[in-house]
Structure 1
Amino acid sequence: MFGITHFAFFVVAVFLLNVTPGPDTAYIVGRSVAQGRRAGLMSALGISAGCCVHSLACAFGLTALLAASAAAFTVIKFVGAIYLIYLGVRLIFAKPAAEPVAASGTPSRAAGAPKSLRQLFVQGFWTNVLNPKVVLFFVSFFPQFVTTGSEHNALAFLTLGAVFVVLSTVWNSFVAWIAGSVTQRFSGKPAIKKWVDRGVGSAFVGLGVKLAAASR
């Protein structure tokens, strides 16, 4: 089928990879705990959109070029690490969201209010796209399931990428839904919420440092 080989094994392998905790899972859990289910789900969708970019790059050879370039790998690695650390520091030092009553009698959104769904989607997207480990994963994992010399290599990579994105989205959405349930216990408890944000922010900083120290 489109030059794909061992498709059933690919599906099983993707499932096992998804249930194994990694940076994407940690990011989704962190956002879900910090801001709720909708935040986690939107972050999961952003990460899935990032996987779409990697799938397209893999299908048309861009991922292989990046993986072969030490300079490109280093640039992406440090940009991704700085971005994660930036998100973490903002969470650590964020002030509790206040809802002062405006003249109209409705609460006004404070500067420290939670991120919008669009912002969460964009952050999830860049967190995935700027992770060079994901680039290396796509370029090393996907070719194992494409027949050598096939006339439909691009279509095979796109098909495998679509399957990967669908399975990942389903699993990550499930993780977000479960983790988001934790936030319900913190409703009306800003002191606890503040320490949760700091914990999540510290985790993001740790992920950023780990990414910066990663080698090829």
Structure 2
Amino acid sequence: MPETQQVLMFMLAGVLLNLTPGPDVLYIVNQSLRGGVRRGLVAAWGVTAGCFVHVAAAALGLGAVLATSADAFNLIKWMGAAYLLWMGGRLLWRTSPSPGDSAMAHQQSGMAHSGQHGDVLASKEESGLLAVFFGAFATNALNPKVVLFFLAFVPQFIPAQAPDPTWSFVLLGCLFNLNSLLVCMGWALAASWLAHRAQGMQRVMHHIDRLAGLLFVGFGLKLALTDAPSH
């Protein structure tokens, strides 16, 4: 097992890395700004669930396959790039909300506490949160660079004399994901706090969607142009 000092260093490095904005953070912030802190937190949980896929893949040796097989890497890479480009396109072509939409949203919110209308709206909200979760999950899980990051970063903190390196890897990977979840939730809370204090937020969100769309397209193109690891 890693020593206490190594674990603390690992946690500090993990927090600093998770504070760096990327596609995951962008997705969380966008959801929190548009739909409130609840959607942002659900997005944070989805991103963390995607990270656990990479930890499991790396621990089981699938990450090594991605690191050594150009075909496997490129398959996941193109899937991830296509998804990011699709996300960017949706944001770029999203229409700006009209004042009537806002009034209707408030009216529906008031109806949510009465009878059948409340049940319908609750069902729509639940399905919307599921879509947010799986969207965040896909944003992370379809990025092969994440599993390669785990392969490159985590082993540095596993002692050479560790009796079971695989379990040490899993432990550190889970610890990293816990740090990641806390930081991602912080991004969601911060974005929601900002949204409640911005004036004319609907108009601002229209421009934020365009900016987020451009960034997602940029991330998608960057991933598409990433070469498979040399071996």
TM-score using structure 1 length: 0.84
1:2: how far off?
6.6
Partner of 2:111: none
Q: Secondary structure at the match of 2:169?
A: helix
1:87 matches 2:99: no
Q: What is the CA-CA distance between 1:4 and the residue it aligns to?
A: 9.0
**1:182 partner letter:** L
- Map of 1:204 onto structure 2: 216
| 1:159 aligns to 2:171 (yes or no) | yes
Change (3 A) 1:58 1:3: farther
- The CA distance in 2 between the partners of 1:4 and 1:136, in whole Å, is 25
- Which of residues 146, 152, 155 in structure 2 aligns to 1:140? 152
- CA contact 2:195–2:201 (8 Å) conserved in 1: no
Q: 1:105 to 1:166 in 2, by over 3 A?
A: closer
SS of alignment partner, residue 196 of structure 2: helix
1:152 CA displacement: 1.6
Question: RMSD over aligned Cα, in angstroms?
Answer: 3.0
Partner of 1:46: 46
CA distance in 2, matches of 1:194, 1:62: 40
In structure 1, stretches of 5+ residues that fail to align are none
**CA deviation digits over 1:129-179, x for unaligned, max 9?**
111210110111111122346432221111111101111100110011101
Ranges in structure 2 where 5+ consecutive residues have no aligned partner: 109-114
Task: Confirm or deny that 1:121 pairs with 2:133.
Answer: yes
Matched, 1:178 2:182: no
Distance in 1, Cα, partners of 2:116 & 2:75: 49
For 1:91, give the aligned amino acid.
Answer: L
Sequence identity, in percent? Answer: 40
* CA displacement at 1:187 relative to structure 2: 8.2
Going by fraction, where is helix more abundant, 1 or 2? 2
Give the counterpart letter for 2:139 in structure 1.
T
After TM superposition, list the pairs within 5 Å mapping 1:24-103 onto structure 2.
24-95=24-95, 96=97, 98=101, 99=104
Whether the 8 Å CA contact 1:3–1:156 is kept in 2: the answer is: no
Q: Would you say the 8 A contact 2:81–2:220 is kept in 1?
A: yes
> How many residues matched?
212
**Structure-2 separation of matches of 1:189 and 1:33:** 9
Return 159-168 or 30-39, whichever deviates more: 30-39
Alpha-carbon contact 2:41-2:188 (below 8 Å) kept: yes
C-alpha distance in 2 between matches for 1:210 and 1:160: 28
User: Is the contact between residue 3 and residue 153 of structure 1 (CA under 8 Å) also seen in structure 2?
Assistant: no
- Matches for 1:10-21 after TM superposition, within 5 Å: 10-21=10-21
Instruction: Tell me which moved more, 122-131 or 4-13.
Output: 4-13
Give distance in 2, aligned partners of 1:210 and 1:34: 26
Aligned to 2:94, the other structure's residue is in SS state coil
What is the alpha-carbon distance in structure 2 between the residues aligned to residue 143 and residue 3 of structure 1? Answer: 13
Q: Distance in 1 between matches of 2:202 and 2:27?
A: 22
TM-score, normalised by the number of residues in structure 2: 0.79
